Amino acid sequence: MDKETLFDMSADSLEDVAPISEVFDLSGKVAVVSGSVGLALFVINRLLECGAKVVFGARTQEWGDMALAALGDLGYEDAAFKQFDTRDVDECAGLVRFAEERFGPVDICVPVAATWQARAFLDMDEELYDDIVDTDMKGQYFLVQAAARSMVRAKHGGKIVTIASVAYRGEDMAHLAMMTPYNAAKAGVVGMTRGIAKELKQYGINVNCVAPGGMVTPGAIANCVETVARYGAEWQADQMGGGKDTPVASTPDEMARMIVTMCTNVSDFMYGKVVEVDGGAGFSFQEKPWSYTMEGGLHG
């Protein structure tokens, strides 16, 4: 076969490629998100920007009302909030029913809601363990289940993006650790994502996962305050000293952009994958331009 014929086989397909604006267009899609502040708020904002209608839920009505007001100030009208507890299976189903009643069958699900608190393994109690694991893993599992049922009933496929953390691979606070339930829950999210992806592919549903690294959020700040109150100033000093070299995103939008990308047709050929957005945590980046040959190099 000659080169021209081979080239035409590829070039002819360009006519069938959708414009990139259409790939990212979520107009008419209905999304369900858990959480109302921090990363969740930025995910909601980007979903709305792409044209989706968004229902979100969280435990605190006050934060939900403030989120709606902030989104309204940005000109978004297709957002609705319902107070719910992601740890409760029936309430997960209720949030999806609310979305169906408000906007129609669900197309997208992003279970962002999470909690954590640094606590020594030897000090961990059952109540805190259950709160972390039930919020961070069980809550995701059953909200995804409820959303998937809506997608299957509607027979239109969908996108599910679970939220893990680099903590799933055992990374947490440098030189301190102290986050074993969070490590376990986020590792569980990765495992369940892969399992669910294998079951739901037959329905045209893409299930993938985003694992964020460090970021500045109200929850992270509040959780650190609680830990300092328990362990004191010495713990705070160790936490700040050990974490100085850990990449921390100044805004959750760094993560939200990838999460929402995975909600679009960009992920059409992806199943059960984990995308890590962590600022290169674990890398030892070169800090000086060591070059003798290039202009702009240290010795150039």
pLDDT given at position 233 = 84
pTM over 0.85: yes
pLDDT given at position 38 = 96
pLDDT given at position 101 = 98
Dist CA 300 CA 298 (whole Å): 6
pLDDT given at position 298 = 81
Q: Where are the alpha helices (DSSP H) in the chain?
A: 3-11, 20-23, 39-49, 61-73, 89-102, 126-133, 139-154, 180-200, 218-231, 233-242, 253-261
Dist CA 41 CA 71 (whole Å): 9
Dist CA 141 CA 87 (whole Å): 10
pLDDT given at position 234 = 85
pLDDT in tens, the chain (300 residues): 789 998 888 898 898 899 999 999 999 999 999 999 999 999 999 999 999 999 999 999 999 999 999 999 999 999 999 999 999 999 999 999 999 999 999 999 999 999 999 999 999 999 999 999 999 999 999 999 999 999 999 999 999 999 999 999 987 777 788 899 999 999 999 999 999 999 999 999 999 999 999 888 887 777 778 888 888 888 788 777 776 778 889 899 999 999 999 999 999 999 999 999 999 987 888 888 888 888 888 886
Active-site hit among 76, 141, 168, 182: 182
Known catalytic membership, residue 203: no
Q: Which CATH superfamily is domain 23-277 in?
A: NAD(P)-binding Rossmann-like Domain (3.40.50.720)
Count the neighbouring beta carbons within 10 Å of the beta carbon of residue 156. Answer: 15
Nearest 10 degrees: CA dihedral of 121, 126, 127, 131?
70
Q: Is 150 helix (H, G, I), strand (E, B) or coil?
A: helix
In terms of C-beta distances under 8 Å and separation of at least 24 residues, what long-range contacts does 292-295 make, across chains too? none
> Is residue 113 within 8 Å of residue 119, measured between CB atoms?
no
**What are the distances in angstroms from CA 69 to CA 62, 64, 74, 108?**
11, 9, 9, 23
- Six-digit token pair at 193? 């994502």
